Chain A
Amino acid sequence: MKRILQINGRNYALDLPAKTTLLAAIRDYIGLVGTKEGCGTGECGACTVLMDQQPVNACLMLAAQAEGKDILTIEGLSQDGNLDPIQQAFIDTGAVQCGYCIPGMIMTGKGLLLTNPHPSIAQIKEAIAGNLCRCTGYYQIVAAIAKASQAR
């Protein structure tokens, strides 16, 4: 069935089977592969995107449920070739190792800063509790989000 998805400010008209998850639509049909699949079952947060500014697991919803919503993926963060402050903060803090969890981490961090521009460390930790990282031990990731919150 024809679906119209609004992703990173652009409308995509796609012919999708009903079972298509938002994650599959973004990666397999649109080809935006920055959003990752880890577990596919809501445990790891690698697939996190913002829907109307709220972080959601793209693996746990149907693409059809995202119709009419404003979806932001990692590819939509930079503006005119300039990285978003949170992306820059992840680089500056050395918060990236293998990088697999990072798009999800950054989108959750972005969602947090949109709802709460000056979070405490405890609030940062609570926000990213649904994002797993096998590499960094989280310390630099928390520091990066804290740094991004000071950048504005």
Chain B
Amino acid sequence: MKDFQLFSPTELEEALDLLTRHCGQMRILAGGTDLLIRMRDGQVQPETVLDLTRISALHFLRQDSNAIEIGPLITHTEVLCSPLLNQETPLLVQACRTIGGWQIRNRGTIGGNLCNASPAGDAVPPLYVLAAECTLASRRGRRVLPIQAFFHGPGQTVLAPDELLVGIQFPSPQPTPLQFFEKIGQRKALAISKVNMAFLGWTDQEGRFQKVRIALGAVAPTVVRAVRTEDYLVGKRPTADVIQAASDMIETEVQPIGDIRSTEQYRREVSGELLRLGLAKCQKEEHG
């Protein structure tokens, strides 16, 4: 690895100053579980590195009135251990539980997972269906973007060279809806998703869906919503027939890519299967 100059500020303002001063030359380091690998093999060779991990203002998890706010430095393990997120957003907890092994989850951060912009990033689909917003900050000020506007393409975000992701927030999904995260990888642990799916559905008294959001990762250059299948489910109860029809529909709706990890046809079928699996599990939990 080429050597570099390292800055480890403790204040956010200082970090933003440094980014402005070294504009374009500086790499941002959080848990390092992605960046250090790319630096090690020479893909990235920065002159200067900004270590965020000592900035306490980026390390928080809180609920304000009806919104939940997550600091970018929150690790996957901290998500798993949060009573608030276990209560409100089990799908985000389920997603973070599938990331890497324990050691990776202890270091890897939510902010790093987003900024990495991998189409297979497992924390991303849950944040899509939760309608999360990202807050970006620079010396020039702050801006808030819906999560789908944060991504440009695979590996690309809209972050300017002098900008940091400083917060992720979403409305608390109450009253607690049906929700799940499912993923298929090469094997159970330490595997990049071939397809992953986040589902959030609000039901009425009779158990009919009033509102549904489904997001899929790894099937396209960025995470996609399955709008047609969402619309189909609205007004229906998740009976075996409805689940079957929705799964068939999502298989035709997704436009997957074929790549080194799997073929297009495989990803289609797995998308249907994940929906079937997730909904069936939710049903079982509901009925004891």
Known A-B contacts A18-B3, A64-B6, A129-B190; the reply to A42 vs B102 at CB < 8 A is: no
B284 touches A (CB below 8 Å): no
A131 touches B (CB below 8 Å): yes
B1-32 CB contacts (< 8 Å) to partner A: 1-6, 8, 29, 31-32
> Are B51 and A64 in contact, CB atoms less than 8 angstroms apart?
yes
Residue numbers in A under 8 Å from B145 (CB-CB): none
A96-152 CB contacts (< 8 Å) to partner B: 108, 111, 126-131
B101 touches A (CB below 8 Å): yes
Category for how many chain B residues contact A: 20 to 34
Q: Which of B33, B51, B102, B106 contacts A62 (CB 8 A)?
A: B51
Chain A: interface secondary structure? Answer: mixed
Q: Which residue of A lies closest to B75 (CB)?
A: A54
Q: Which residue of A lies closest to B5 (CB)?
A: A18
Q: Roughly how many angstroms separate A110 CA and B174 CA in the complex, as a whole number?
A: 39
Q: Which residue of B lies closest to A129 (CB)?
A: B189
In angstroms, how far is the closest chain B Cβ from the Cβ of A141? 14
Q: Number of residue pairs across A and B with beta carbons under 8 Å? A: 83
> Are B33 and A60 in contact, CB atoms less than 8 angstroms apart?
yes
A19 touches B (CB below 8 Å): yes
> Are B8 and A64 in contact, CB atoms less than 8 angstroms apart?
yes
A32 touches B (CB below 8 Å): no
In angstroms, how far is the closest chain A Cβ from the Cβ of B28? 13
B44 touches A (CB below 8 Å): no
Residue numbers in A under 8 Å from B146 (CB-CB): none
Q: Which residue of A lies closest to B100 (CB)?
A: A130
Q: Roughly how many angstroms separate A14 CA and B190 CA in the complex, as a whole number?
A: 33
> Are A55 and B36 in contact, CB atoms less than 8 angstroms apart?
no
B49 touches A (CB below 8 Å): yes
B104 touches A (CB below 8 Å): yes
Further contacts, 6 of them, CB under 8 A, given A51-B106, A56-B103, A60-B31: A18-B3, A18-B49, A60-B37, A61-B32, A61-B36, A130-B189
Interface residues, chain A, CB within 8 Å of chain B? 1, 17-19, 21, 40-43, 45, 48, 51, 54-57, 60-62, 64-65, 108, 111, 126-131
